[in-house]
Amino acid sequence: MSPDEYCQNKAAQSGSSFYYAFLFLPPERRKAITALYAFCREVDDVVDETLESSVARMKLVWWREQVNALYTNPKQATHPVMLALAPHIHTYDLKMGEMLAVIDGMEMDLEEVRYQTWDQLKKYCWHVASVVGILSAKIFGQTTEKTSDYATKLGLAFQLTNIIRDVGDDARRGRIYLPMEDLATFNVKPAEILDAQHSDRFEALMRFQTERAYALYKDAAIALPEQDRRAQRPGLLMAAIYFALLEEIARDKWEVLDKRISLTPIRKFWLAWKTWVSGGKRLINRLSR
């Protein structure tokens, strides 16, 4: 199996909405974004699948060494994901600091199980999502620095959508990503979330988080420069899917404590295709309202 095939399999097996955005890209850009996504999955899996935090830290140190080798001594970068990324790091100006920032985010999951404020949670979201958006925007075809602001905001919107969707799954791991200050505002005790206790107060808390996510999608849509809109269609495909998921969760009254709400693969593909064909114009207009 070649490094590119390894990354392709990693992306396809994940079932992520990101996979649908890759389908419409030219071959070289598709290879680059698939390798980047595979890298993110690899380091994320270290945290999710390694029971001992000390072992997970050692594995993340190894990944840091692989990233460092990729940029300073490519012959020492041995993992298939690194080999697949190697031809693209200079072509698309993928910076080592940005790659390492992703690993920083995974390490935060080993250190924190609560975030007291939205500002603290935003920092985490930047590391695990916004920096990935910044790297992705370069691969898609960024021509102006302003597009990085769009990618940052869109990454925040994606990650907050993930947090809203995964409240129950995270609680079963002992994690609550929703800011503690927001729980206090809506008089929701952490124990209620850990015990999957749905209430009117919990719905009010989740409605607040959803409105925050809607605002982030709007800010991202407004921040996307017109000159890069066509090139950034893959990101808009993901925005269409994630935004639809957020709406679905809200329609279901945030029943996320004991089940995982998702879109079918057919619906994801339809949203992606429709957004690609329209150039993202309808989505931008809708999100910008």
Burial class (CB in 10 A: 0-12, 13-18, 19+), 177: buried
Gap between the Cα atoms of 109 and 103, Å rounded: 10
Over the stretch 131-184, which tens digit does the pLDDT of each residue have? 999 999 999 999 999 999 999 999 999 999 999 999 999 999 899 999 999 999
Instruction: Say yes or no to pLDDT of 12 above 70.
Output: yes
What is the SS3 assignment for 35? helix
Q: Which residues contact residue 111 at a Cβ distance below 8 angstroms, ignoring those fewer than 6 apart? A: none
Over the stretch 241-250, which tens digit does the pLDDT of each residue have? 999 999 999 9
Q: CA dihedral defined by 188, 194, 200, 204, rounded to 10 degrees?
A: 60
Over the stretch 45-77, which tens digit does the pLDDT of each residue have? 998 888 788 999 999 999 999 999 999 988 889
Q: CA dihedral defined by 254, 255, 259, 260, rounded to 10 degrees?
A: -20
What is the SS3 assignment for 30? helix
One-letter amino acid at 210 equals T
Instruction: Kindly list the structural domains of the chain, giving each domain's residue range(s) and its CATH number in brackets, ordered by start.
Output: 1-111 (1.10.600.10), 114-289 (1.10.600.10)
